[in-house]
Amino acid sequence: MNPPRNLVLLPSGRSVLFGLIGLVAAVLATTLVASVLSSAWSPVPRAGPGESVDAAGLRFTVEELSRSAGLPDADGVPVPVPDGAEVVVLRYRVEVIDPGADTTIHCRVDLSDGRRTWPTDLRWLGRVEPLGAPSCAGTGDEPLAPDRPVHTAALFVLPAGAEPLTAEVTFGEHTVRFVE
Amino acid sequence: MTDSGWRSVRGRLALGVCLVLAMTLVLARPDPDRDRFTVVRTGADGWGRTTAFDARIERVGVTTVMPARVDGDPVPTEQRWVVVDYTVRAHRERLDANRLWLITAAGDRYAARPEFAGLGVSLLDAGFTGRGTAVFEVPPEAIAGLTVRVGPLHTDRRPWDVVVEHEPTIEQVPAGTAGEPVVEVTR
């Protein structure tokens, strides 16, 4: 015997629409929750001057994060910056704390006041007196090693009077932050 | 019509809507060969303002000989040098402020000549204003109806890039002879 015709279930247009909207909302909510939980579980380590943070088997110590009106070149002659600008110097030390850590890293350093970002200004860094090793992995002659820390630096030129600054060091998939 | 008949019609209607939606998404897929950005026109004060940068075309001149640079000779052309003086303000991040284009009335696009790139602003950091010059070589018949386009200026490609466009008054004298590009803190 055939079932009564009014028992055949067909989705209405409205229920299909609501189903799609619900699906999209569920995906968005899951992504949002996963993102929040992920950042809460693995916050980016941060350190102020004199402090250290560890990441990927390496220890990063902030030796200096300071602002100044200018810096001298190798002969002691001040390198001029545009009127109304200032120089921010970041010096930091990288040490190996896990012998298995990758020491062939490349560090990208960006400065932010929460609203604007500045990448390392290589043009100015190349003009002033050397502030440290040019790379956080050291040099060819003195590479980063378990018994050999690297002192390196980044330099930024930005409008004077920026809000409190945060330097973000990114290497591979890892990030550490230095604050004033 | 019976209740089950209505449900059947609504089900097919929903299926049809989904198919139309899918076809629309396929047809509206961006063409990778097309430029994709929003165009902002310069206003009455000459500035075109975007969230990433502001730009203003200060002066556009036409000549057949570019003045000599340091230790160089004047540079003639059988076409026309279109010399554009411009100002760019970077708001939030580093931009490549030397990306200017000329668009002809026919839609052809000319890039600035690289041998004069030293007159341009180049990389411009957040909070700074740069003034520079871009030089284009354009056939004389393409001069009328030129539009100057500034951008996209992001150093990496963004899905929602913005450009500034300006329809200039062109002077029959060379601009851009003032000297080197200038970068200063935005006032």
- CATH at residue A60: 2.60.40.1240
Range of the domain at A57: 46-179
Do residue A90 and residue A170 come from a single domain?
A: yes
Of all residues in chain B, the percent with pLDDT exceeding 90 is 54
Give per-residue pLDDT as tens, B117-158.
889 998 999 999 999 999 999 999 999 999 999 998 988 877
**Among B88, B79, B78, B74, residue whose Cα is nearest residue B148:** B88
CA distance A158 to A87: 7
Residue where the block lists tokens 């060819």: A140
Q: Does B25 touch chain A (CB under 8 A)?
A: no
Q: Does A2 touch chain B (CB under 8 A)?
A: no
Residues 6+ apart with CB under 8 A from B13: A13
Q: With residue A159 as reference, give the H or E element that holds it.
A: strand A150-159
| Residue in B with minimal Cα distance to A162 | B127
pLDDT of residue B58: 94
Do residue A30 and residue A74 come from a single domain?
A: no
Count of C-beta atoms within a 10 Å radius of residue A32: 10
pLDDT over threshold 60, residue B109: yes
pLDDT over threshold 80, residue B78: yes
Domain ranges (residues) in chain B: 1-30, 37-185
Instruction: Look at residue A1 and tell me if it is in a domain.
Output: no
Do residue A68 and residue A99 come from a single domain?
A: yes
Task: Indicate the residue of B10, B94, B184 with minimum beta-carbon distance to A12.
Answer: B10
Give per-residue pLDDT as tens, A103-138.
999 999 999 999 999 999 888 788 888 888 889 999
- Residue B29's Cβ-count burial label (10 Å; 0-12, 13-18, 19+) is exposed
Residue where the block lists tokens 């002809």: B104
Instruction: Look at residue A158 and tell me if it is in a domain.
Output: yes
pLDDT over threshold 90, residue A59: yes
Q: Which of A113, A116, A165 to mutate to test the interface with B (most CBs of B within 10 A)?
A: A116
Do residue A30 and residue A54 come from a single domain?
A: no
Quickly state the pLDDT bin for B180 (edges 50, 70, 90).
confident
B57 vs A132, which has greater pLDDT? B57
pLDDT over threshold 60, residue B176: no
Quickly state the pLDDT bin for B13 (edges 50, 70, 90).
confident
Instruction: Look at residue A2 and tell me if it is in a domain.
Output: no
Do residue A85 and residue A111 come from a single domain?
A: yes
pLDDT of residue A38: 61
Length reported for chain B: 187
Q: Does A117 touch chain B (CB under 8 A)?
A: yes
Give per-residue pLDDT as tens, A23-52.
888 888 887 777 666 655 667 888 888 999
Tally of structural domains, chain A: 2
Task: Indicate the residue of A11, A83, A116 with minimum beta-carbon distance to B127.
Answer: A116
| Mean pLDDT (whole number) for B16-35 | 73
Q: Does A3 touch chain B (CB under 8 A)?
A: no
- Contact flag B127-A159 (C-beta cutoff 8 Å): yes
pLDDT, averaged across chain B: 87
Of all residues in chain A, the percent with pLDDT exceeding 90 is 53
CA distance B161 to A1: 65
- Contact flag B11-A160 (C-beta cutoff 8 Å): no
Task: Provide the CA B64 distance to its chain's centre, in angstroms.
Answer: 24
pLDDT of residue B174: 66
CA distance B34 to B37: 10
Q: What is the CATH number of domain B37-185?
A: 2.60.40.1240
pLDDT, averaged across chain A: 86
pLDDT of residue A179: 94
pLDDT of residue A7: 56
pLDDT of residue B33: 56
Q: Which of B91, B128, B156 to mutate to test the interface with A (most CBs of A within 10 A)?
A: B128
Task: Indicate the residue of A14, A83, A117 with minimum beta-carbon distance to B185.
Answer: A83
* Neighboring chain A residues of B128 at a CB cutoff of 8 Å: 82, 85, 159
pLDDT of residue B32: 56
pLDDT of residue A175: 95
- Give, in order, the Cα–Cα distances in Å from B83 to each of A24, A140, B40: 52, 46, 22
A62 vs B4, which has greater pLDDT? A62
Q: Does B113 touch chain A (CB under 8 A)?
A: no
| Mean pLDDT (whole number) for A143-149 | 95
Residue where the block lists tokens 């009106």: A69
pLDDT over threshold 60, residue A144: yes
Q: What are phi and psi of A5, to 5 degrees?
A: -60, -30
Do residue A36 and residue A65 come from a single domain?
A: no
Residue where the block lists tokens 């036409």: B62
Q: Which of A73-82, A144-153, B17-26, B172-181 has the lowest mean pLDDT?
A: B172-181
Quickly state the pLDDT bin for A76 (edges 50, 70, 90).
confident
Do residue A29 and residue A61 come from a single domain?
A: no
Of all residues in chain B, the percent with pLDDT exceeding 70 is 87
Instruction: Look at residue A79 and tell me if it is in a domain.
Output: yes
What is the number of H-type helices and E-type strands within chain B? Answer: 1, 13
Is the separation of the CB atoms in B171 and B59 below 8 Å? yes
Beta-bridged to residue B62, according to DSSP, are B82
Is the separation of the CB atoms in B136 and B82 below 8 Å? yes
Instruction: Look at residue A4 and tell me if it is in a domain.
Output: no
Q: Does A158 touch chain B (CB under 8 A)?
A: yes
Find the DSSP H helices in B3-155.
3-27
What SS3 class is residue A142?
coil
> Which of B19-33, B74-88, B150-164: highest mean pLDDT?
B74-88
Q: Does B156 touch chain A (CB under 8 A)?
A: no
